[in-house]
A and B are shown apart, each in its own frame.
Chain A
Amino acid sequence: MKRKSVSYAKWGYIFLAPFFIVYCIFALYPLIQTFYNSFMSYVIDRGTIDDIWGSATGAKETTTITWGGLSNYSAVFSKDETLVQSFLNTIIMWVIGFIPQIAVSLLLATWFTDLRLKIKAQGFFKTVIYLPNVIMASAVAFLFTCLLIRDGALYNFFGPLAGDSPAGGYLSILDKVWGTRATVGFINFLLWYGNTTILLMAAIMGIDPGLYEAAQIDGATPSQTFWKITMPLIRPILSFVLVTSMIGGLQMYDVPSLLTLDQGNPQGKAMTIIMEIQQRKDSDVGKACAVCVIIFIISAILGFITMFGMDDSREKKKKRRKV
């Protein structure tokens, strides 16, 4: 019997090994390389192509890599760079999408789990709510571009909001900074509120129904039950939703990129931080890496915050129970 358990442990490691090997090659090594390159002044000349055949005909070297120290990092925060602006754009567009997302999700999750409401055909509604998340974000972004651009299907409906165009008629709302940002936010809301609803429902259903019954008997109003029972008890999941959404928001790329034809216009106000990386990655590699590292650090900090946030609340609960 003893021998058997030892051999099982061995098999456990063997089955774990493929993941770690793949992870090291395809994730860990590039990660380390990104850190290394962020300290280099690494520039590729895209107007020439490396003469890989080494002919002596005078073709130029296209890539220059020299030690740059922290110059990439200081350049990222300098005034004539657009990176800080892009960071702000990203945050703004995330907030525009996240606030309605969390509000609608909370509302739906409360309704679906309410003991007294007993909504029928829940499975159907849950599926429908989740459906937008199944569609590829790029497809939705492309759809909205076609709908909203000048002479697109919804142009006449939304155009008047954007004001008159010098070319006659109206501008498209995608010509306006607020219009583009709102559209990006709306698409993100549309894609993700279903996912959040499902998560929050799971959290609410985890609450002891006895608490709600007790509250009912004590004559608590629905809003009181929501604020005094539901909200405090789903806090760990809420903070998880917040942080994953924030990390996802920091990495926002496909929707704004496709909506603005990769340009981040109008006036670069819809350019996200990942779009900046994508624009630079083929020429200004060092700076692109520096931005990656900064995003990595921010994401890591956010990750730690949730980890401790969730642990705290659990420990408190345990302590209370012990007492």
Chain B
Amino acid sequence: MAKLKRVLAGALSLCMVGSMLTACGDDSSSKADASSSKSSAADSSTANSSTADSSTADSSEGGDSSAANPDRKDTSKIHGTDSSQASKDTIRIYCWNTEFKLRLDKFYPKYTKLKVETGTYKDEKGKELTEIKTIDGKKVEWIQNTNDGNVYQTKLDEALKAQPTSDNKVDLFLVEADYAMKYTNGNVALSVQDLGITSDDTKEMYQYTLDAATSSVDNEVKGLSWQATPGLLYYNVDKAKEVLGSDDPAEVQKAVADWDKFKETAEKMKAKGYKMLSSFADTYRVFTSNVSAPWVTDKKLTIDPQIETWIKYTKEWTDAGYINGTDQWQAPWQNDQKPDSKVFCFFFPSWGLPNCLQSNSGDAGKGKWKGTQGPTSWYWGGTWICGAIDSDNQDIVADIMKVMTCNKECAKDITKTENDYTNNKAGIKELQDEGFKSEFLGGQNHLALMSENADKISLKGKISAYDQGCVEKMQGDMGAYFKGETTYEKALEQFKTDIKKLYADLEV
């Protein structure tokens, strides 16, 4: 009996110690483990491994002629800790939302030569979706952290810093334009040439997407993007007919050709009880696309005249009643994208059309929106895929990058089915020649407008590694000014102190 008690007490205390430690192991990041129980793994089907038509020939294993330097590729051998078998059997991907996952799940199995195993799961709306479970027998693991408040960067930095000594290696991570420079200039991403991706593979990409991912340290391309992100103005067809007399993009363009015209139209909308824009931040990127200096140069903060213009116009338009005063990304802002809302137009980049406007307006929105250029050409962000240095699944990383960003047929497929604007000039041109029509935009060929814009994009001298925090704080702190709760000077003062908190080494 005494022995039993002793054993019991020992077991209980072990449990207690164990439970103390459980909290330490994992962090708050939500792991979207592909094989977790949330996926109602009803049917697991092995997708094709042989859609070997001519188009996919260039997708995988093709470009080994680039003769990747084995030393540079096999970095984990140089750096020390070898990865565990579990890590070798897992492809760990760091991301901040599900955009890339959805694209990869939907299009990668069709265009890769590798063997992909898929399963199904239900998303939060109860829709059944297919997801990739394994690629070439390797499990896919997604680690998702929100971009807000630099959370994603903090988590990614921790993982990358641990990379040399950890036996559980990150294989692939995504970066956004707001902080891409930090990772392309740091020694943390594999050069695409080392992954066997040649300049021939990337020749149809927009040069700016390559420039933005080129390291200023060694002039090598560190990441590739499957999308180009030109922006357009999307307007509600019914309101355009009612107020402007026509819903033809060319006619509407005349009414929003520059900011003065834009204001006149806003006045007309107001007379009919409509709002021109939904949130204060809607036009933010339209102005910041044309800045002359990035937020931070040589660790010094600059507030560009374009940003001041955004503040001036937004305040003016708010006071005049042209803006609905919602908060970007919040539910009321999303509701304003429904076709029967009182908001006339939204500025959206390429990815905003499928991910925001289309999903928020739902089926009722079909044919209710059309795109036009708007007052100026602009862009917003972009996502780059980077192979993590020391990755233990570089062949698969290389294949994912090749299929998703270099394969013309895949790019065309994404644009056709998802309305996204892909980073393949030849593909976009072919689609236009084939007479592309967007069903959501009422049969409009918005690619023509987009490609005109995409040619003009240059990120050179416009982005810095500190943009995420600067943009968030600028929009957050100016809110009170727009709402008439504080003065411009006070809001600006607050912005500067906030930046000092986030980035203590910057001169403000």
Binding site for B on A (CB under 8 A): 11, 15, 18, 22, 26, 43-53, 55, 57-59, 64, 80-82, 146, 149-152, 165-169, 171, 175-176, 261-263, 265-268, 276, 279-280, 282-284, 287
Q: Which of B459-508 contact A (CB under 8 A)?
A: 464-466, 469, 472-473, 476-477, 479-480, 482-486, 490-491, 494, 497-498, 500-505
User: What's the minimum C-beta distance from B218 to chain A, rounded to whole angstroms?
Assistant: 6
Q: Contacts A43-B505, A48-B185, A152-B332; is A82 near B477 (CB within 8 Å)?
A: no
* Bound-complex Cα distance A80 to B20 (A): 41
- Closest residue of chain B to A280 (Cβ to Cβ) is B501
User: What's the minimum C-beta distance from A111 to chain B, rounded to whole angstroms?
Assistant: 38
User: Across chains A and B, which 6 residue pairs bring their CB atoms closest together, nearest first?
Assistant: A167-B325, A151-B332, A284-B504, A47-B465, A49-B186, A263-B476
Is B456 close to A, CB under 8 A?
no
Is B160 close to A, CB under 8 A?
yes
Contact B218 A262 (CB under 8 A): no
User: What's the minimum C-beta distance from A298 to chain B, rounded to whole angstroms?
Assistant: 21
Cross-interface CB contact of B480 among A18, A152, A265, cutoff 8 Å: A265
User: What's the minimum C-beta distance from B302 to chain A, rounded to whole angstroms?
Assistant: 14
User: What's the minimum C-beta distance from A46 to chain B, rounded to whole angstroms?
Assistant: 6
Contact B187 A55 (CB under 8 A): yes
Q: Contacts A53-B164, A166-B484; is A15 near B501 (CB within 8 Å)?
A: no
Contact A150 B327 (CB under 8 A): yes
Cross-interface CB contact of B332 among A53, A55, A149, A279, cutoff 8 Å: A149
User: What's the minimum C-beta distance from A271 to chain B, rounded to whole angstroms?
Assistant: 10
- The 15 sampled A-B contact pairs (Cβ below 8 Å) are A18-B16, A22-B20, A49-B183, A49-B186, A53-B79, A55-B187, A150-B325, A151-B326, A165-B484, A167-B318, A266-B480, A267-B486, A268-B497, A282-B150, A287-B504
User: What's the minimum C-beta distance from A28 to chain B, rounded to whole angstroms?
Assistant: 14
Cross-interface CB contact of B483 among A58, A151, A165, A262, cutoff 8 Å: A165
Contact B476 A265 (CB under 8 A): yes
Contact B187 A59 (CB under 8 A): yes
Q: Which residues of B have CB within 8 Å of A150?
A: 325-327, 332
Contact B182 A47 (CB under 8 A): yes
User: What's the minimum C-beta distance from B315 to chain A, rounded to whole angstroms?
Assistant: 8
Q: Which residues of A have CB within 8 Å of B260?
A: none
Q: How many residues of B contact A (CB 8 A)?
A: 73
User: What's the minimum C-beta distance from A88 to chain B, rounded to whole angstroms?
Assistant: 16
Contact A261 B476 (CB under 8 A): yes
User: What's the minimum C-beta distance from B327 to chain A, rounded to whole angstroms?
Assistant: 6
* Bound-complex Cα distance A80 to B16 (A): 47
User: What's the minimum C-beta distance from A155 to chain B, rounded to whole angstroms?
Assistant: 8
User: What's the minimum C-beta distance from A237 to chain B, rounded to whole angstroms?
Assistant: 29
Is B403 close to A, CB under 8 A?
no
* Bound-complex Cα distance A106 to B23 (A): 36
Contact B186 A48 (CB under 8 A): yes
Contact A47 B323 (CB under 8 A): no
Q: Which residues of A have CB within 8 Å of B24?
A: 26
Contact B164 A283 (CB under 8 A): no
Is B290 close to A, CB under 8 A?
no
- Closest residue of chain B to A80 (Cβ to Cβ) is B497
Number of A-B contacts (CB under 8 A): 164
* Bound-complex Cα distance A282 to B366 (A): 44
* Bound-complex Cα distance A282 to B389 (A): 23
Contact A283 B505 (CB under 8 A): yes
Contact A165 B217 (CB under 8 A): no
* Bound-complex Cα distance A282 to B502 (A): 7
Q: Contacts A49-B182, A53-B79, A152-B331; is A279 near B501 (CB within 8 Å)?
A: yes
Contact B13 A18 (CB under 8 A): yes
Q: Which residues of A have CB within 8 Å of B504?
A: 43-44, 280, 283-284, 287
Interface contacts beyond A47-B296, A171-B485: sample of 16 additional A-B pairs, CB < 8 Å, sorted by A? A43-B504, A46-B150, A47-B179, A47-B299, A47-B465, A48-B185, A52-B187, A151-B326, A151-B332, A152-B331, A165-B483, A166-B321, A167-B318, A167-B324, A168-B325, A284-B500
- Closest residue of chain A to B330 (Cβ to Cβ) is A149
Q: Which of B121-144 contact A (CB under 8 A)?
A: none
Q: Which residues of B have CB within 8 Å of A81?
A: 497
* Bound-complex Cα distance A276 to B501 (A): 8
Residues 195-221 of B, flagged 1 when their CB comes within 8 A of A and 0 if not, give: 000000000000000000000011000
Contact A59 B185 (CB under 8 A): yes
Q: Which of B298-357 contact A (CB under 8 A)?
A: 299, 318-319, 321, 323-327, 330-332, 335
Q: Which residues of B have CB within 8 Å of A165?
A: 325, 483-484
User: What's the minimum C-beta distance from A13 to chain B, rounded to whole angstroms?
Assistant: 12
